[in-house]
Amino acid sequence: MKSFTSRRARAVVVAIAAGSLALTGCSENKGSSSGKDSKKDQEEASSQSKAVTYADAAASTGPAEEVPGAKSGGTITVYQEAGLTHLDPGQIYVSDAGQVANLLFRGLTNFEEDGKGGVSVVGDLATDSGKSSDGGKTWTFTLKDGVKDQNGKVITSADIRHTVERTYAEFIFDGPTYLQTWLSGAEYRKALPDGGYGAKHLPDSVLETPDAKTVVFHFDKPRPDLPQTLAMPGYSIVPEGSDTKEKYDKAPVSLGPYKISEYKVGKSLKLVKNDQWDPKTDSVRHQYVDLWDVQFGVTESTQTKRLISDQGDAKSAIQFTGSVDATQIQDVIGTPAVNQRTIKGYQPYVMQLTFNLDRVKNKKIRDAVTYAVNSKSLIAGEGGAYGGDVAPNLFAPTLPGYEATYDPYGRLKTPQGNLEKAKELLADVPAAERKLVFAYGNTEAGQKRKVAIEDALSKVGIDVVAKEIDSASYYQQIGELDNPYDIYITGWGQDWPSPGTVVTPIYDGDQVAKGSSNYSHIDDPKVQELIQKALTQEPTEAAKTWQEAHHYILEKVNPAAPLWYTKQFQLYGSNIGGARYSTESSYIDVTRLFLKS
């Protein structure tokens, strides 16, 4: 399954440049963190890693359960540093737009959280999470009655077909590609060059809409993760009659509880209540506040200062995808009244030192580097225990199948590096092979990482040749197949709570291509076999196969040294009610917020 291309690699540049954005996939989020008690954090994170369940019609029926103490009315001010890259659902793959999507858009399915780490997929526009047949190759969805867009138009199966087909168009280039490739293969655009805007459409053998209420997907192999895939913001519905193609990015039509009343690109975004949204059809979202006033250009340090002071509009303000400024962490945690106004949790990202396997072919060197790297030093540069925890493996604590004690390289016992073991492995390795070119971004964080990597590896006799890369093109440069680098730090988080969205995008040999997320260029037959096996299994059964693949990858191949897990630490005003950490988004849950007064 070739489901990840250079489109997301390009989008991640926004995440690096802004310092507060994150992709659902690869990311270098520098956000600050959870707390000093890593053991407690690990326990909380493990509760987030429960396997996703698929809900029935009863659980998919609205309205959503009321939030205790909730009131209606008022304005929530949103602080955000960078402007939005996209508002067209088909282009959404970055977390800031994903947060907005929770308020504006709806898809066939959606994620619902219980606040205790449990996540289920419910029907959103569909009556349930989908019904599979033909061994999981066919999925049928029935639309709920009377769901309308902001213009009062009832959504039909024709709108679902249009939404899918438009993702084949050339102007849709930054969103997810799972569904398109599953339906039409890696070169899916050739199957529908005009994106369904002309006379040609996908055949019924692929996408069938037998009546106004029914949508049927036909795949060539079982796709048990389809309900989770369709819950991604990138597959939110675009009503056929309202589609303005490229222009849709600036003025999309809402199906959710809010609609856009004003949008000044890069400056501000105002959302007001959508009077066509019917809570009886929505089991997840609420419509408590009257207005969302999103203010762009507010740095994380300014956001933190305002929220700590808790004066004026800041009392009713939140951080959207930003985090508590690292230099002000002590001001937050040292003041109980302020610390009570925080949400904390593990993000899904694993930072790792990736090896270019085309250049670093000797596994002894890869293993030696993995033993030598100093995770403690690297984490210090990210804000210490508030920025992350030592990663003993390549699965994040938020991922189903995470094993807290799986630590093949002893990272937990020797977070500062096992230098003796590294030296032992390098004893008979020629000096020429012990020279590694390390690529790093030209940011403050990149400089700190460079120093930490150079210091650790030089102590075991590895000659590090550091090469600075412009942060705006970092992933683009390391994404070149013939790049001149041996090692580079990358990060990844799941697209939805499934190990398949980690193992497949970055360790699948079919993903070895220019701009691909397989930055190590790993192409191993055993890994391929396990991936294909897991992709045809139900989530619970597949978990064992993904675990086997994870162990094999890390121990037998070792394409990347695990470094640290990232955390989230956000602050909100004292008048904000209903605040909680979202396991699915890794940020404050915007679907349930209200104002206390």
Domains of the chain: 348-568 (3.10.105.10)
Q: What value, to the nearest 5°, has the Cα angle with vertex 362 and ends 563 and 466?
A: 55
| DSSP assigned state of 481 | T
Q: What does the alpha-carbon distance between residue 299 and residue 405 come to, in Å, rounded to a whole number?
A: 38
The yes-or-no verdict on residue 26 having pLDDT over 50 is no
Q: How far from each other are the two terminal CA atoms of the chain, in whole angstroms?
A: 50
Cβ contacts of 402 within 8 Å, gap of 6 or more: 45, 46, 49, 395, 396
Q: Which residue has the tokens 């959103």?
A: 124
pLDDT interval class at 22 (50, 70, 90)? very low
Which of residues 46 and 129 earns the better pLDDT score?
129
Count how many Cα atoms sit within 13 Å of the Cα of residue 337 in the half-sphere of its side chain.
Answer: 8
Q: What is the mean pLDDT of the chain?
A: 88
pLDDT interval class at 51 (50, 70, 90)? low
What confidence score (pLDDT) does residue 515 get? Answer: 60
Element (H, E) at 453: helix 444-458
Average pLDDT in the 209-221 region? 97
Q: What does the alpha-carbon distance between residue 32 and residue 325 come to, in Å, rounded to a whole number?
A: 7
What confidence score (pLDDT) does residue 40 get? Answer: 59
Average pLDDT in the 15-24 region? 30
Element (H, E) at 466: strand 463-469
What confidence score (pLDDT) does residue 33 get? Answer: 38
Rounded to 10 deg, the angle between the 539-552 and 525-535 helix axes is: 170
pLDDT interval class at 12 (50, 70, 90)? very low
**Both tokens assigned to 547:** 């675990």
DSSP string, 385-452: GGTEEE-SSSS-TTSTT--TT--TT-TTT-TT--HHHHHHHHTTS-GGGGEEEEEEESSHHHHHHHHH
pLDDT interval class at 46 (50, 70, 90)? low
Q: Per residue in 526-542, pLDDT tens?
A: 999 999 899 878 777 88
Are 582 and 588 in contact by the 8 Å Cβ rule? The answer is yes
What confidence score (pLDDT) does residue 364 get? Answer: 97
What confidence score (pLDDT) does residue 32 get? Answer: 35
Q: What does the alpha-carbon distance between residue 346 and residue 32 come to, in Å, rounded to a whole number?
A: 11
For the chain, what's the residue count? 597
pLDDT interval class at 585 (50, 70, 90)? confident
Quote the radius of gyration of the chain (alpha carbons, Å): 23
pLDDT interval class at 216 (50, 70, 90)? very high
Are 296 and 268 in contact by the 8 Å Cβ rule? The answer is yes
Average pLDDT in the 539-555 region? 93
Average pLDDT in the 383-401 region? 86
What b/e sequence results for 193-219 when a residue is b if at least 16 CB atoms lie within 10 Å of its CB, and e otherwise?
eebbbeeebbeeebbbbeeeeebbbbb
Which of residues 322 and 521 earns the better pLDDT score?
521
Average pLDDT in the 198-207 region? 95
What confidence score (pLDDT) does residue 50 get? Answer: 60
pLDDT interval class at 13 (50, 70, 90)? very low
118: nearest Cα among 58, 54, 70: 54
Average pLDDT in the 323-346 region? 90
DSSP string, 314-370: GGGEEESS----GGGHHHHHTSHHHHTTEEEEEEEEEEEEEE-TTT---HHHHHHHH
pLDDT interval class at 103 (50, 70, 90)? very high
The yes-or-no verdict on residue 470 having pLDDT over 90 is no
Cβ contacts of 337 within 8 Å, gap of 6 or more: none
Q: Which of 83-92, 184-193, 492-501 has the lowest mean pLDDT?
A: 492-501
What confidence score (pLDDT) does residue 444 get? Answer: 64
Q: What does the alpha-carbon distance between residue 545 and residue 557 come to, in Å, rounded to a whole number?
A: 17
Report the SS3 class of residue 196: coil
Pairing of strands 576-577, 594-595: antiparallel
Which of residues 23 and 367 earns the better pLDDT score?
367
CA distances from residue 305 to 7, 102, 309, 329, 486 in whole angstroms, order as listed: 35, 27, 6, 11, 41
Average pLDDT in the 532-555 region? 90
Percentage of residues of the chain with pLDDT beyond 90: 66
Q: Give strand pairing partners of 487.
A: 355, 438
52: nearest Cα among 129, 106, 126, 162: 129
Q: Per residue in 241-253, pLDDT tens?
A: 999 999 999 999 9
Q: Which of 281-285, 344-348, 373-377, 459-463 has the lowest mean pLDDT?
A: 344-348
What confidence score (pLDDT) does residue 41 get? Answer: 61
The yes-or-no verdict on residue 433 having pLDDT over 70 is yes
Task: State the burial class of residue 36 (Cβ atoms within 10 Å of its Cβ: 0-12, 13-18, 19+).
Answer: exposed
Are 161 and 128 in contact by the 8 Å Cβ rule? The answer is no
pTM for the full model? 0.78
Count how many Cα atoms sit within 13 Å of the Cα of residue 166 in the half-sphere of its side chain.
Answer: 28
The yes-or-no verdict on residue 450 having pLDDT over 90 is yes
